[in-house]
Amino acid sequence: MGVHALTEMQPWQLAKKWHEEHSDTPFEQVIGVYMRDHYCWSSPQEFVLARLVQWHEGQMYEGNVEPNCWFVQLAAGENPFKRFLKIAPQKMEYVSWQRRGSERYHVWPWDKFKRKVYTDGFN
């Protein structure tokens, strides 16, 4: 194994680093919640945390709601959104995320998002 291989961070490590710089909640606690109640994907190429939510009239709702949207909480790696589209247990009407800690939700219809991810890539 070369020196370069030892210094490269795995996608989960990149996600952890970002999370620790932007949140007071321990990364391990977040992972535990996602592994118990939501969806967690980790491989040498991608890392994704996602949960089902409801997007309605410009607002995001969680809890006891009828979900229509995947919210990607944290993603890192080569093309984590492409992987997410392949592993999501079900297609929803929307896919959403917040870019780099912004409060603004990015919400795209599933099919439009899929076209974007597969034609241009999306990170």
52-96 tens-digit pLDDT: 999 999 999 999 999 999 999 999 998 899 999 999 999 999 999
User: Do residues 41 and 77 touch, judged by C-beta distance below 8 A?
Assistant: no
Triad 3, 79, 84: Cα angle to 5°: 125
Residue 35 phi/psi, 5-degree rounding, is: -70, -35
Mean pLDDT within 8-20: 93
Enumerate the H helices of 1-100 as residue ranges. Answer: 3-7, 11-22, 27-37, 80-87
Whole-model pTM? Answer: 0.87
